[in-house]
A and B are shown apart, each in its own frame.
Chain A
Amino acid sequence: MSTADAALTQKFDWSSESAAARRRRRHRADRRLRTIGVVAISIAIGLLGILIVSLVSTGYRAFVQTMVTVPVYVDPQFVNEDDPSKGNYRAIVKGTLETLFPEVTDPREQRELARLLTNNTQFMIRAKVVADPKLIGTTFDIRVPVSDPFDQLNKGVIDRDLPEDRRKINDKQIGWYDKLEAEGRVSTPFNWGLFVNSDSRFPELAGLAGAIVGSFYALLVCFLISFPVGIAAAVYLEEFAPKNRWTDLIEVNINNLAAVPSIVFGLLGLAVFLNFFGLPRSAPLVGGMVLSLMTLPTIIIVTRASLKAVPPSIREAALGMGASRHQVITHHVLPLALPGILTGTIIGLAQALGETAPLLLIGMNAFITSPPGGLLDASTALPTQIFIWADSPERGFVDRTSAAILVLLGFLIIMNGIAIFLRQRLERTW
């Protein structure tokens, strides 16, 4: 007791040297924690920066495509005039190259020369001739993509100064390319093919059209299922359900479902939708169904939050007028909660758009060269297309993967932007 009192009554000398030193130490510790915090945030932001910069710095190249304009003489001897779709268009391409490079006569060199143009040049010429058979026997200019290595050469990815054996194209090929360029035949326009074409084995022709359409179909199915079902479930749980073990179970279930790894939903889709019900593999319908099961918990949770935010006074007012509970919900509560529900739905759909793993298991990573015509056609989706391209060895696919990611991120930004806009414009606070 006496020592205790002494400890208290004896005034602490705040200005003593030891007290000041202690305080300095404590402030140093405070600044240290603050600095660590700044460092942690800088690391996180820096990593995001590196991610974006690396995507943009590789991806921007895929938004332009090196094209070359060549004169084509459609020799009638190679084309069947009655049915222009049949003909030796390969020989026509060969003829074109011979007129451009008369000095190249060695067959081996001619083959190397032919690699300058995309492999599909013959089909492009055929398409033009089929569309307009009058072209047979005439000479016209056609602009075709150069093949991937020359595209990379033009974009500076392939280094001319490297020794010949360490690049994909030899000096002679570079010489031919330079000649074309000197003649003003080479151009680098915006790469519409990225959005118009579907997948291809050749990077210079590969595009996202099929994947975008596939993702659109899958999201459509996902929306058509998860939006009405999610709202109905949320309305029931929030407005009608009695509070008992059964509804508790449903609630726990929804919360847990929201945290189940996405690949498990893929297993479900594979075992139930494909194996048990026998729905077709790779179909956007199945993809959309799997995604809707994943989006459902999000929509239910968001919708319930929006319903909760509508003040009870509005319900009481309507009930007081003699409206049934269903009428109260449909006439008053749902319209007021709708902006919040829409915002949550869009965010849920944005998540679904980026989801990859479950789509792999139901086969939406197939090699499909045309956009799906319907919900049951085999198709890819944007994220699975990214996965396929990321796995491809050609250099051109690295650029295209980054470009595809930028397109995907663009869609995500647009969707989230709409959600933020809706939230700010329509949502009211009570």
Chain B
Amino acid sequence: MAGYVFLLILILSVVGYYVGRSAGNRFISGTGAGAGQVVHSLPGYHGAFVAVWVGIPAFVLVLLWLFLQGTVIDNLLLASLPASLTEGQSASGIQLILSEIKNVAAGRIFKEPTPEIESAAAVYLRWEAIARWAMVVVAIAMMLIAMVVARGRLSPRFRARNNFEFVLSALMIFCSMIAIITTIGIVASLVFEASEFFRRVPFNEFLFGLRWEPQIALRADQVAGKGAFGAIPVFTGTLLIAFIAMLVATPIGIYTAIYLVEYSSDRVRATVKPIMEILAGIPTVVYGFFAVLIVAPAVRDTGSALGIAVSPNSALAAGAVMGIMIIPFISSLSDDALKAVPRTMRDGSLALGATRAETMVKVMLPAALPGIMGGILLAMSRAIGETMIVVMAAGLIASLTVNPIDSVTTVTVQIVTLLTGDTEFDSPKTLAAFALGLVLFVVTLCLNVVALRIVQKYREQYE
């Protein structure tokens, strides 16, 4: 249905274009109204002017209609339901009733519906049909009115090109605002849902509590579940795994960059760089599977050979694989930072008789340090926010430990486990995921801002 409406908008816009263009052609050939005047714009711009005024408002209207129709109908439906159905129901109970009505309306009947539900389903179907057709009628009316009005404004002296370009500029400004809208959307949704959560669980308890047992809280009533939302073990788990990842990635990445910048021949560089890009391009879910299939068993076998009991979801395995994922990230940023050090600096050191190692360690690395630090911070933020590897390879139970062979959980793992499966938007369990998401967003944002600023300053220094 929606597809046809969009097609209709497209067709009418094209019609509008030809209407406008033929008007423009008549101005030029001097047969239309106002003949004889100098024509300001080419016929194509007259057409484009009519087309954008026909198409864009209708497009926006239909989009909004489609987005809001569901919510509006739901609310109308709820209001029309007999009180006997909704009375004393929690929000999730009402959601259940709504989805049952929709299932019945769609013909997916799992159990025999009550008469109230069935009549509600009929109401729902009727409203949906009304809404659909109303949308089509309103859209067509709007487009026809727009076409008439826009056509009426055309004249030989009408600045169709300027008007059309004005609309284009407005569109472009809107498009560049989407980045800001996205950020606002992220912040708003996280803050909104998280504040819901903090109304149920005190803020301090969340930030400083030492026990994280969200599953238990779902079963017990909320008061009993209190105290199970202390996120400290989740944070320490996240940091532990990120730390292990950095421990693996930082030396390998930096030494790789050192070798590529100072020692390697062009041929080696031309081979190694694409390999690093391949490492960087592998989806994280692949790394996750690699951790489960190869690394975790290998770590466990090594442990048992040494007589150490390693947890099957050890932080070590997840962190190590995350480290592999981050190697290319650190190596390419360090590579950039080292390359940005002016060649004259390197030559100055070599000309004094320094070896390449001395030049690297005593001149290049100190000079590139801010850039490398920025890269490490960015990598750290990536490690903290990385999801799939830990979802597949790390544990679910939040234990407060820094032992790398134990199983720990991370912020991202908790978000995924709390939100997959059934998502009731009013249980503290799901809301907790948004509180965790808010923390994750704030922390990574700070890391990114600081890192990007350091890198920026560093680049400017040598420009």
Question: Are A and B direct contacts in the complex by CB distance below 8 Å?
Answer: yes
Q: How far is the CB of B454 from chain A (nearest CB, A)?
A: 13
- B193 CB–A CB distance under 8 Å: yes
Partner of A275, one of B161, B177, B281, B425: B425
- B207 CB–A CB distance under 8 Å: no
Q: Which stretch in B84-92, B150-158, B209-217, B437-445 binds the other chain?
A: B437-445
Residues of chain B with a CB closer than 8 A to A351's CB = 281
- B361 CB–A CB distance under 8 Å: yes
CB-CB contacts below 8 Å: B406-460 with A: 412, 415-416, 419-420, 423, 425, 433-434, 437, 440-441, 444-445, 448-449, 452
A419-B223 Cα distance, complex, nearest whole Å: 56
A270-B433 Cα distance, complex, nearest whole Å: 11
CB-CB contacts below 8 Å: B350-409 with A: 355-358, 360-361, 378, 381-382, 384-388, 391-392
| Chain A window 254-285, contacts with chain B (Cβ cutoff 8 Å), 1 for yes, 0 for no | 11110111111101101110011111000000
Given A38-B259, A267-B434, A300-B179, residue A261 in contact with residue B444 (CB < 8 A): yes
Given A44-B327, A263-B387, A357-B387, residue A276 in contact with residue B290 (CB < 8 A): no
Decide: B175 and A236 in contact? CB cutoff 8 A. yes
Partner of A365, one of B74, B357, B420: B420
Decide: B294 and A50 in contact? CB cutoff 8 A. yes
Decide: A264 and B381 in contact? CB cutoff 8 A. no
Residues of chain A with a CB closer than 8 A to B208's CB = none
- A383 CB–B CB distance under 8 Å: yes
Residues of chain A with a CB closer than 8 A to B448's CB = 256, 259-260
Decide: A236 and B255 in contact? CB cutoff 8 A. no
CB-CB contacts below 8 Å: A400-430 with B: 401-402, 405, 408-409, 412, 416
Decide: B289 and A249 in contact? CB cutoff 8 A. no
- B309 CB–A CB distance under 8 Å: no
Decide: B416 and A360 in contact? CB cutoff 8 A. yes
Given A48-B278, A264-B186, A387-B392, residue A253 in contact with residue B179 (CB < 8 A): yes
Residues of chain A with a CB closer than 8 A to B294's CB = 50-51, 54
A262-B415 Cα distance, complex, nearest whole Å: 12
Residues of chain B with a CB closer than 8 A to A264's CB = 186, 190, 385, 437, 440-441, 444
Decide: B324 and A47 in contact? CB cutoff 8 A. yes
B449 nearest CB neighbor, chain A only: A256
Decide: A263 and B416 in contact? CB cutoff 8 A. yes
Residues of chain B with a CB closer than 8 A to A250's CB = 176-177, 179-180
Residues of chain B with a CB closer than 8 A to A277's CB = 67-68, 70-71
Decide: B178 and A233 in contact? CB cutoff 8 A. yes
Residues of chain A with a CB closer than 8 A to B452's CB = 255-256, 259
A385 nearest CB neighbor, chain B only: B285
Q: Which stretch in A23-31, A142-150, A178-186 binds the other chain?
A: A23-31
A416-B282 Cα distance, complex, nearest whole Å: 12
Partner of A259, one of B324, B378, B386: B378
- A395 CB–B CB distance under 8 Å: no
Decide: A254 and B179 in contact? CB cutoff 8 A. yes
Partner of B289, one of A256, A259, A405: A405
- A361 CB–B CB distance under 8 Å: yes
| Chain A window 22-42, contacts with chain B (Cβ cutoff 8 Å), 1 for yes, 0 for no | 000011011011101111110
Decide: B176 and A237 in contact? CB cutoff 8 A. yes
Residues of chain B with a CB closer than 8 A to A401's CB = 289
CB-CB contacts below 8 Å: B168-203 with A: 168-169, 171-173, 175-180, 182-183, 185-186, 189-190, 192-193
A350-B278 Cα distance, complex, nearest whole Å: 12
Decide: A270 and B279 in contact? CB cutoff 8 A. no
Given A232-B176, A409-B282, residue A260 in contact with residue B165 (CB < 8 A): no
- A75 CB–B CB distance under 8 Å: no
- A398 CB–B CB distance under 8 Å: yes
Decide: B286 and A26 in contact? CB cutoff 8 A. no
B323 nearest CB neighbor, chain A only: A47
Decide: A354 and B190 in contact? CB cutoff 8 A. no
Q: How far is the CB of A367 from chain B (nearest CB, A)?
A: 12
A383-B448 Cα distance, complex, nearest whole Å: 27
- B11 CB–A CB distance under 8 Å: no
Residues of chain B with a CB closer than 8 A to A240's CB = 169, 172
Q: Which of A232, A300, A416 has the most CB of B within 10 A?
A: A232
A391-B173 Cα distance, complex, nearest whole Å: 45
Decide: A26 and B388 in contact? CB cutoff 8 A. no
Residues of chain A with a CB closer than 8 A to B175's CB = 228-230, 232-233, 236
Residues of chain A with a CB closer than 8 A to B356's CB = 30, 33-34
Decide: B441 and A386 in contact? CB cutoff 8 A. no
- B276 CB–A CB distance under 8 Å: yes
Q: How far is the CB of A14 from chain B (nearest CB, A)?
A: 10
Decide: A33 and B252 in contact? CB cutoff 8 A. no
Given A236-B175, A253-B179, A324-B165, residue A267 in contact with residue B425 (CB < 8 A): no
Decide: B388 and A356 in contact? CB cutoff 8 A. yes
A253-B186 Cα distance, complex, nearest whole Å: 12
- Chain A's interface size range is 35 or more
Decide: B259 and A297 in contact? CB cutoff 8 A. no
- A104 CB–B CB distance under 8 Å: no
Decide: B182 and A257 in contact? CB cutoff 8 A. yes
A235 nearest CB neighbor, chain B only: B172
A231 nearest CB neighbor, chain B only: B175
- B38 CB–A CB distance under 8 Å: no
B268 nearest CB neighbor, chain A only: A41
Decide: B444 and A26 in contact? CB cutoff 8 A. no
Decide: A45 and B275 in contact? CB cutoff 8 A. yes
Q: How far is the CB of A121 from chain B (nearest CB, A)?
A: 29
A263-B438 Cα distance, complex, nearest whole Å: 11
- B13 CB–A CB distance under 8 Å: no
Partner of A297, one of B179, B190, B263: B179
Decide: A241 and B176 in contact? CB cutoff 8 A. yes
A354-B180 Cα distance, complex, nearest whole Å: 25
Partner of A270, one of B258, B391, B419: B419
Decide: A261 and B384 in contact? CB cutoff 8 A. yes
Decide: A398 and B293 in contact? CB cutoff 8 A. yes
A50-B320 Cα distance, complex, nearest whole Å: 14
- B251 CB–A CB distance under 8 Å: yes
A225 nearest CB neighbor, chain B only: B178
A297-B262 Cα distance, complex, nearest whole Å: 33
Decide: B276 and A37 in contact? CB cutoff 8 A. no
Q: How far is the CB of A158 from chain B (nearest CB, A)?
A: 18
A275-B183 Cα distance, complex, nearest whole Å: 18
- B218 CB–A CB distance under 8 Å: no
Partner of B355, one of A26, A279, A353: A26
- B55 CB–A CB distance under 8 Å: no
Decide: B445 and A260 in contact? CB cutoff 8 A. yes
Residues of chain A with a CB closer than 8 A to B260's CB = 37, 41
| Chain A window 149-189, contacts with chain B (Cβ cutoff 8 Å), 1 for yes, 0 for no | 00000000000000000000000000000000000000000
Q: Can you identify 21 A-B contacts, CB atoms within 8 angstroms? A: A34-B259, A34-B357, A47-B279, A51-B286, A51-B287, A240-B172, A259-B381, A259-B444, A263-B387, A263-B415, A264-B437, A267-B419, A268-B185, A268-B189, A271-B193, A300-B179, A324-B165, A351-B281, A361-B415, A361-B416, A391-B392
Show the binding face of A for B, using Cβ within 8 Å: 26-27, 29-30, 32-34, 36-41, 43-45, 47-48, 50-51, 54-55, 58, 228-230, 232-237, 240-241, 249-250, 252-257, 259-265, 267-268, 270-272, 275-279, 293, 296-297, 300, 324, 326, 350-351, 353-357, 360-361, 363, 365, 383-384, 386-387, 390-391, 398, 401-402, 405, 408-409, 412, 416
> Nearest 10 A-B pairs (CB), nearest first?
A261-B385, A37-B259, A354-B283, A278-B70, A271-B189, A40-B255, A236-B172, A357-B387, A232-B175, A233-B176
Show the binding face of B for A, using Cβ within 8 Å: 67-68, 70-71, 74, 161, 165, 168-169, 171-173, 175-180, 182-183, 185-186, 189-190, 192-193, 251-253, 255-256, 258-260, 262-264, 272, 275-276, 278-279, 281-290, 292-294, 324, 327-328, 331, 355-358, 360-361, 378, 381-382, 384-388, 391-392, 412, 415-416, 419-420, 423, 425, 433-434, 437, 440-441, 444-445, 448-449, 452
